[in-house]
Amino acid sequence: MKAGKGAFLRIPLLLATLAAATGSLASAHHGSRISYDLSKTVRLKGIVKVFSYENPHIYITFDVKDDKGNVTEWAAETDPPAMMARKFGWTRHYVKPGDEVTIYLWPSKAGATRGFLARIETADGRVTDHTEQPQQ
């Protein structure tokens, strides 16, 4: 079967399109830390709702009660499971729903109730100090 002239042009175009799409996905993911204010931390005490130990990042969703009893849901993002396991010995059972935690995080620049994990203290005394400045 004979290939037409257009077949040779389509292959480079397809490769260029794939390269552009892959590059934009990688930069979108790795730019996420720019969303947080790394000049300050916020201390929050709450109860874990969800511990999502999955790639690309671990997320801890937790409820924080204020002095008036109002509950606000917060979320803390941290590094991938492999990195947290290697650096701090984390497993998918590090915390679980219902656990009381004190979390220090670099807050969202947009004012959302979320941030990047700087430190976590569990009720049973475990501490993960992740305060070295994350890369932007």
Confirm whether 134 is domain-assigned. Answer: no
pLDDT in tens, the chain (136 residues): 555 555 555 555 444 444 444 443 443 445 466 899 999 999 999 999 999 999 999 999 999 999 999 999 999 999 999 999 999 999 999 999 999 999 999 999 999 999 999 999 999 999 999 988 555 4
C-alpha distances in Å from residue 20, one per residue of 23, 25, 31, 66, 125? 5, 9, 17, 46, 47
37, 73: one domain:
yes
1 shares its domain with 66:
no
- Same domain membership, residue 102 and residue 53: yes
Residues 10 and 53 in one domain: no
Q: Is 10 part of a structural domain of the chain?
A: yes
Q: Is residue 82 part of a domain?
A: yes
The torsion angles phi and psi of 126, rounded to 5 degrees, stand at: -75, 140
State the alpha helices, DSSP H only, in the chain.
5-30, 81-88
Same domain, 19 and 54: no
Domain that holds residue 49: 33-129
What is the number of structural domains in the chain?
2
